Every structure is written in C-alpha cells, then in structure tokens.
C-alpha cells in the first residue's frame, strides 16, 4: 500500500526552542483524491518564522495546529492525480499544503498554479512565494515609501527582508538593512544592493544606525523586534511608518518578552504602526507575482534560497536554524 | 510701573513628580504691545498632562521649555491693548499664551478668537479648546469609528477622554471608559452617558473590561499607557485602531518605564496604532469648534471643567493633581 510521510505535531513545545519530541514523522496510508480534489506530490517545504507561533496554543491570527495534525507549511509540488476541473496532472502548484510528501486538497484555500518556465519550483515558496508577497504588500501598502525616503529593514538578509530592501531601491528610497554579522551585511550591500547594512552583533548599533541613516528613518519594516526595534524607534522621523511583520526575537522567549522601551516615540513622532499578515492581501496575490516576477526577470530583484537536504526527518533541526540566524536566504526543505 | 506675574521654569525636574523648586513665580515689567502685537490679560490657564514632557530636555514634538522661560500653556483671556489689525480691545482669545498674567503676542501661531456668548471663557481652554480638538481629531481621524463598533477610552473622566466617549456615542458606537474609582466611573456612565466604565483600581481589570466589551474592542483611544494599555491590547479585534494620545502613567516615572508586554497583539491582530498631537490638525480647528459647539448646544456633549483657585502661585500643586488623578474634569487654573 502506498504511504505518505507526514510531520505531525506531537505535543506543544515548552517555551524556548522547539525540541525534537514536539514533532513525529509518521507514515500514513496515501489517500486518493476524491471528487473535486487533487493530489500533489510535494517537492519543497518552506520553513518560516511564523511556524513557532502556529504551534502555540494561544490566540493568534490562525488557529494553532492541532496535536496529531500535519504541521502547517507552505509547500510547492506537482499535481500527481486530479479530479478537480482546474488542475491537471503535472501542474506545478503552491499553497498551504503542509509538511508532508503528498497533500490531497480541494484546491482551496488558495492553491496557486506557478510557472516553472519562469522560475524553478523552490522559488515559488521563496522570493516569488509568500515571503515575496509579504515584502511587497508590507512595504508598499503599510510602509508607503516615497522616493528619497529612508527605509530600514531588519533581518535584511532573510527571505522577506532581502526583498523589502530591493523593492525600496526600485521605488527610489535609501535602503538600509540590519543583519547579524559581517558576512550577511556584505551580502546585503554587495549582492542585494542596499545602500548600507548595520551589524546588530557589533558594538553600538545605535551609532551605526545613525551613521547609516543621516536623515533619520521614514519607514521601518520590522521582522525582529526586541532591542533592534528599540534602537530604531528613537531614530524614526515625524510621521514615519512602521510595518510590524515579525517579532522573531521573541518567538522562543521562555518568559513574556518586555515590550519596546522606546514606545513613547510613537506619540512624540506621531508614528503609524501596523501589524501585517500576508493573507490579508490574498485576493491581490497575482499583482505581487506580476511585479516581483517582472523585477526578477529584469535582474533588479535578486532572490536567494537556502535549500536544505535531509527530507522531512530534518524538519526540526532545519526549522530551528531560523531562530539562531543559521540560514542564508529563504530557508526551504527539500522533501 | 505695571508688572506681569509669570510662572518660569527654574530648573529641569528630576525624574518623578514635579517639585516646587522647578518653577519660580516672578514679577517682571509689563510690556506694551509693539506694532502688530496685542496684549492679552489672561483669565484661565489650562493644565495639561503634556506639560510634564515639555519641561524635560529630551527629543519630543516641541522643543523643551527653556530655563528662565515662561511655562508653555494654553490660556484664555481678553485683549487689553492691540496694535494688531485682526484683534480689538475686549476680544476673547485663546492660544499658547503661557502661564502668566499677561501675554504680549503677534497673534501667531494660532491666537484663536472665541465667542463668550456661546460658552464661558474657561470652556475655551476646556472642552471647546485643545482637549476637545484632541478628542475630535484623535477619535475621528485616527480611530475611524464605525457605527456599532466598540470604542474604549482610558482616563475617561478626564478632559479628553470624557469627550472621546461622547463623540463615540454620537457616532453610533458602544463607548466604554476606563477610570479610577467608583465615583469617576459613575460620572462617566451616569452623567456622560457612556455604555460602561471599568474601574482600573478595582481587582481584575481584564475580566471587567471583557464584560464591558463582549464583542471585543475596535478602537482604543489611549491616554494612559502602562498596565491599562496592556490590558486593552489582547482584547483588540482584528484590524482594530489605537490612537496613542497620551501615556500619562509613564510621565513621572523615575526610570524608563517598560514597553507594552502585549505588544505582539499588534502583529497577530493586525492593529493600526498611531500617535497624535492635536497641532497636526491646526488648520482644521474651526471644523472641530463647529461640531463640538453644535453638539454642546444641543445638549449631546457634556463638558465639565475643574477650575482651581489660588492663582499662579498654585501652579505646581495644581498641575500635579493630573498625575495623581486628583482632578475631576478638565483642570484649569484661574489666574
């Protein structure tokens, strides 16, 4: 009997890093698609910082993954069997297909057909997938950058941040990254073309950020939170915008992390701060794919995936790289 | 020789409550208005929470008051001598005239003529003055309340909060106040007509707020910050709006206060938070005066001032009432 390998949530993680016993890799019988369903053979699973929140049993923007359920994940693969009128065998598709070898789905919500002639399969859960859409809508809709303004993005070498800064450049802004270590910073400036990148692991981030942003900060795209956000806040210009996309510094905290000490800047500088989840723009995804794809094709948008081998059994170790800064670019697990 | 009595900043206050030695009440020669100037005899000085920030030597939305300078204050009085074409003797005017008996000014920025036939003089630095304008623009422009939504306002019996909740009611919202002690709460519901008011001094604010907001919170007008904001944040509905108008809980902190622990709600609930200073809408003040005045005349907007005697020598003691919750309604000092 054919089987499907799944990464299932075995128990809720305690505060702190995810441990191996929180997930179980299990073989289950492989289901055939029913009427209106497709079966997708998954090639790549995207590993995202938000996963840490999805397994906590707390109020969030989506219900937590249930114990014994397949771990929620964006994945990309090819249709292997179809009883759905919109999809045929061989179609490349991406969506919330889970961390597993095969997904059987009705095609909703939001199974998106992708074009392998335009970009390799893994890129459709990378820079042209959800991280790219997040950067696109988060920067343009929430940040509303104007030409000549200064845009700061944290986790600048990461999946979302790397694209945020490049879009900022395309829109005529000064793009300043914050990243950990000289290698990542060099990648951000030399390869991605940001105007500057400051190393949060080096001494005196505050002074370094001031040097990199001589005219202050107009837009902050926040992926990290914690001390980094606290360094950015007092340097924000009046009427600046802050897109809160992620707070990864706190995701593995063992006690509730403190809030931003420099919160008062929101009042004194009349900042606009807004939290964002990419699914809020689900109906506009084609717009993001169109622009990102065009910029990528023109060579103006560089995308780097960090594809890891090891298959589904390597899920936990690979995921934890995100929280230690161990990845270089969008982290993806090859199934 | 005629003299003018002024409250001058004598030294910067240490962290904590303002002490008497921070201000000096001094007699200075009374100046005659020069060409293009008016002299105003001040009748009432407004005491506002923001004053604590104005005397700190830190970056804020206005430069700090200088040592030896007249304390910045909104005041109202009558023109006593005029060499300005737009103002004549007897005109009632309000503006940033300072904490003093007389102000000599060119009439800018923003000396506003007020109508004593519509409301008594003190009300023009009260509910129909800057606090009213703050409530008006802060709630309507930042909060964008929709009919049927729930609006929560802290310091609900105060100058700004009392008007915020009443405008929310006028706009068809459920208005919920947060105030300190049963008397203030009774005033907020029974006199001002809020739907509910919870006492932050009573046990379990969280549960009380939940009972008062069974459908969650769509708009929060924040005057206080600290634990109160932290209680509100997790109860905010998705896409809720937070107007940061004041953070009075922190103004007298002796060490930097912690930021909001529940900051993460901004991300998970995709909240929009925006700091506001009323002067950002300076060019639209007539609009606020028109609507507030009309609602007041119709009996739909109740305004209460807490006018204190004692004159300028009572400045410090009266001001400090704001930070201990000792006032009832808009705090004003009669000169």
Strand order in the sheet with B217-222: A196-199, A174-179, A150-154, A217-222, A236-244, A272-275, B272-275, B236-244, B217-222, B150-154, B174-179, B196-199
Distance from CA of A262 to the nearest CA of B (A): 7
Task: Residue A259: list chain B partners with CB under 8 A.
Answer: 230, 258-263
List the 212-231 stretch of B: residues with Cβ below 8 A of A: 225, 230
CB–CB of A263 and B225 under 8 A? yes
pLDDT score at A251: 67
CB–CB of B271 and A271 under 8 A? no
pLDDT in tens, B287-320: 999 999 999 989 999 998 899 999 999 999 999 9
Establish whether this prediction's ipTM goes over 0.90.
no
Cα distance between residue B227 and residue B250, in whole Å: 10
Distance from CA of A31 to the nearest CA of B (A): 34
pLDDT score at B110: 76
CB–CB of B267 and A274 under 8 A? no
More confident residue, A15 or B168: B168
DSSP helix/strand/coil, B155: coil
Q: Is A53 on the interface with B (CB under 8 A)?
A: yes
Whether the predicted pLDDT of A223 surpasses 70 = yes
Q: Is B264 on the interface with A (CB under 8 A)?
A: yes
All domains in chain B, ordered by first residue: 3-126+304-334 (3.90.180.10), 130-279 (3.40.50.720)
CB–CB of A273 and B270 under 8 A? no
pLDDT in tens, B191-205: 999 999 999 999 999
Whether the predicted pLDDT of B165 surpasses 70 = yes
If you measure CA to CA, which chain A residue comes closest to B230?
A259
More confident residue, A247 or A274: A274
pLDDT score at A182: 96
If you measure CA to CA, which chain A residue comes closest to B251?
A264
Contacts of A278 (CB under 8 A, 6+ apart): A130, A133, A134, A137, A138
Q: Locate all alpha helices (DSSP H) within chain A, ordered by sequence.
A: 51-54, 130-137, 161-170, 182-186, 205-212, 226-232, 248-251, 265-268, 285-297, 315-324
Whether the predicted pLDDT of A60 surpasses 80 = no
How confident is the model over A39-56, as a mean pLDDT? 93
More confident residue, B221 or B116: B221
pLDDT band for position A198 (50/70/90)? very high
Q: Is A59 on the interface with B (CB under 8 A)?
A: yes
Name the nearest CA neighbour of B238 among B265, B258, B256, B262: B265
Mean pLDDT of chain A: 93
pLDDT score at A62: 82
pLDDT band for position B109 (50/70/90)? low
Question: What global pTM score does this model have?
Answer: 0.88
pLDDT band for position B62 (50/70/90)? confident
pLDDT score at B323: 85
pLDDT score at A108: 67
pLDDT score at A109: 67
Task: Residue B143: list chain A partners with CB under 8 A.
Answer: none
Say what percent of chain B tops pLDDT 90.
79
pLDDT in tens, A147-160: 999 999 999 999 89
Helix A130-137 with A161-170: angle, nearest 10 deg:
50
Of A225, A268, A273, the CB nearest to B60: A268
List the 274-293 stretch of A: residues with Cβ below 8 A of B: 274-277, 280
DSSP annotation of B100: B
pLDDT score at B325: 78
pLDDT band for position B83 (50/70/90)? very high
pLDDT band for position B251 (50/70/90)? low
């Amino acid at each position: 009997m054919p089987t499907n390998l799944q990464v299932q949530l075995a128990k809720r993680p305690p505060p702190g890093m995810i441990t191996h016993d929180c997930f179980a890799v299990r073989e289950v019988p492989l289901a055939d698609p029913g009427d209106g369903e497709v079966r997708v053979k998954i090639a790549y699973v995207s590993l995202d910082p938000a996963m840490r929140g999805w397994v906590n049993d707390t109020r969030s923007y989506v219900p937590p993954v249930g114990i014994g359920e397949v771990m929620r994940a964006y994945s990309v693969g090819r249709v292997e069997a179809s009883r759905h009128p919109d999809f045929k065998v061989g179609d490349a598709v991406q969506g919330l297909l889970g961390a597993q070898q095969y997904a059987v789905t009705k095609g909703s919500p939001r199974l998106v057909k992708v074009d392998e002639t335009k970009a390799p399969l893994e890129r459709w859960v990378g820079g042209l997938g959800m991280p790219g859409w997040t950067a696109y809508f988060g920067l343009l809709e929430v940040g509303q950058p104007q030409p000549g303004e200064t845009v700061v993005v944290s986790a600048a070498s990461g999946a979302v941040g790397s694209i945020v800064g490049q879009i900022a450049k395309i829109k005529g802004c000064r793009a300043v990254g914050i990243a950990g270590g000289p290698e990542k910073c060099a990648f951000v400036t030399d390869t991605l073309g940001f105007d500057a990148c400051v190393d949060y692991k080096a001494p005196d981030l505050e002074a370094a950020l001031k040097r990199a942003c001589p005219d202050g900060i107009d837009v902050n795209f926040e992926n990290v939170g914690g001390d980094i956000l606290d360094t950015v806040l007092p340097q924000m210009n009046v009427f600046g915008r802050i897109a809160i996309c992620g707070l990864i510094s706190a995701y593995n905290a063992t006690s509730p992390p403190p809030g931003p000490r420099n919160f008062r800047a929101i009042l004194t500088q009349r900042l606009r701060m807004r939290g964002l989840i990419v699914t809020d723009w689900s109906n506009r995804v084609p717009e993001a794919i169109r622009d990102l794809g065009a910029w990528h094709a023109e060579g103006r948008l560089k995308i780097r995936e960090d594809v890891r081998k090891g298959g589904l059994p390597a899920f936990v170790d690979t995921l934890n790289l995100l929280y230690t800064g161990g990845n270089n670019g969008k982290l993806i697990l090859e199934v």
